[in-house]
Amino acid sequence: MNYEQALKYIAQSNKFGIRLGLDNIGKLLELLGNPQDSLDIIHVAGTNGKGSTCSFISSILKEAGYKVGLYTSPYLETFTERIRVNGEHIPEPEVGRIIELIKSKIEKMVKEGYSYPTEFEIVTAMAFYYYAEQKVDFLVLEVGLGGRYDGTNIIKKSLASVITSISMDHVNILGDTLEKIAYEKAGIIKENGTVVVYDQSEEVKGVIKGVCSEKNAKYIEVKFSGIDIKKSDIYSQVFDCTILGKRYEDLEIKLIGEHQVNNSVLALSVLECLNLEVDEMSIRNGLLNTRWPGRIEKIKEEPIFIIDGAHNEEGARSLRKSLDHNFKGKKLTLLIGMLEDKDIDSVLDILMPIFSRVITTTPDNPRAISSETLAQKISMYVSDVTSKRNIDEAVRYILDTSNKDDIIISAGSLYMIGEVRKLINS
């Protein structure tokens, strides 16, 4: 099976939808020899900041000389982004080889009466198999959706369960309150494990503490009150912080926004809790070299063009805070496309007051809200609204109608901004 055939095979499993439960991926991995059992895993769940936190951890460990697997989703531009070792994407021929093996195992399990695995289960099984073959020292594993029934939670043990910021998202699957969502995320906590938690609302932390108590897990809360941000612009941020009693000065990251400083401190706290051999130079270089595309990322100058995957209330607040800080009083243009099952009204309430012009488009996803319907909603906030059905057309239009000193923001959906990124960089 070649790469294109493998991607087609993975995509066709979409028709089986999302199913909660771990029986299917458990059976598939059993047939593959349970590769996940051989891995030392740092497991990361949360609503916002999972990918950034994973990327910080992975980058620091790589700088310290370890061989590090990084598993994330969704991808922005190419499928192979999801499965990396020391920053290198899984080679395309390897995708074809492993998916051909997995296909044979799926045929066997279906004959035994098991349901067909979902797309995420197939990709996760491939990732575990690849990382085990590569003999990585550590796997930084991002949860796909929720935690308790997520395919990644088939693992029996982890070095640490990390829970980033939790907010309202996927309410139709995870629950309609913060407590219900937090309970699903806390499902990754293991018996007698170590749990490192982003400082957030008391209701969320209360749920996580309760699960830790039930599972006799060690609860470690990361406080952000001791952070001193000395410099913050659209190019980098410099800050001091104290992590578990250890003081760091003049740490620098290229990721934009105060929340990314918090995510980097969370990542550092995880490594500190695990007592891994990581020297300060590796920490500094790892933080500085961390890249996480599509999260308040500047992709063009003249006009300045920034993309961000903000698609829920908390993501919108982080984006708004960063834009207020960096572009106060400037004329801003927004290119936005969203999925219909997101909290669109909350995102619009937060973002629209700072934009003078908005272009809507439709992300290439069956769950997308149409550009016309989104434009109608936005016209309640902004008078200058233009609808473009096609992302390519929308990007060309916004560049053709902008001056070199304008500031353009593209946000609302990761499915859209990956395409925008590709078009701008091509």
pLDDT tens-digit readout, 3-60: 999 999 999 987 666 666 899 999 999 999 999 999 999 999 999 999 999 999 999 9
> Given this model, what pLDDT does residue 62 score?
98
> Given this model, what pLDDT does residue 171 score?
67
Q: Is residue 220 over pLDDT 70?
A: yes
> Given this model, what pLDDT does residue 366 score?
86
Q: Give the mean pLDDT of the chain.
A: 94
Q: Is residue 266 over pLDDT 70?
A: yes
Q: Would you call 115 exposed, middle or buried from its count of C-beta atoms within 10 A (0-12, 13-18, 19+)?
A: middle
pLDDT tens-digit readout, 359-402: 999 998 888 999 999 999 999 999 999 999 999 999 999 999 99
Q: What angle do CA 92, 33, 29 make, to 5 degrees?
A: 70
| Domains of the chain (ranges, CATH numbers) | 3-289 (3.40.1190.10), 297-425 (3.90.190.20)
Residue type for 225, please? S
CA distances (Å), origin 237, targets 49, 53, 324: 17, 16, 16
Mean pLDDT of 315-337: 94
> Given this model, what pLDDT does residue 16 score?
61
> Given this model, what pLDDT does residue 245 score?
85
Q: Are 64 and 276 in contact (CB under 8 A)?
A: yes
> Given this model, what pLDDT does residue 169 score?
75
pLDDT tens-digit readout, 61-91: 999 999 999 999 989 999 999 999 999 999 9
Buried b / exposed e along 220-233 (16+ C-beta atoms within 10 A) = bebeeeebeeeebe
pLDDT tens-digit readout, 157-173: 999 999 999 988 776 77
State pTM to two decimals.
Answer: 0.94
> Given this model, what pLDDT does residue 78 score?
94
% residues pLDDT > 90 (the chain)? 86
Peptide bond into 91 cis (omega under 30): no
Rounded to the nearest 10°, the torsion over CA 16, 17, 22, 24 is 10
- Give the separation between CA 196 and CA 173, rounded to whole angstroms: 24
> Given this model, what pLDDT does residue 354 score?
96
pLDDT tens-digit readout, 110-122: 999 999 999 999 9
Phi and psi angles of residue 369, each rounded to the nearest 5 degrees, phi first = -80, 140
> Given this model, what pLDDT does residue 168 score?
80
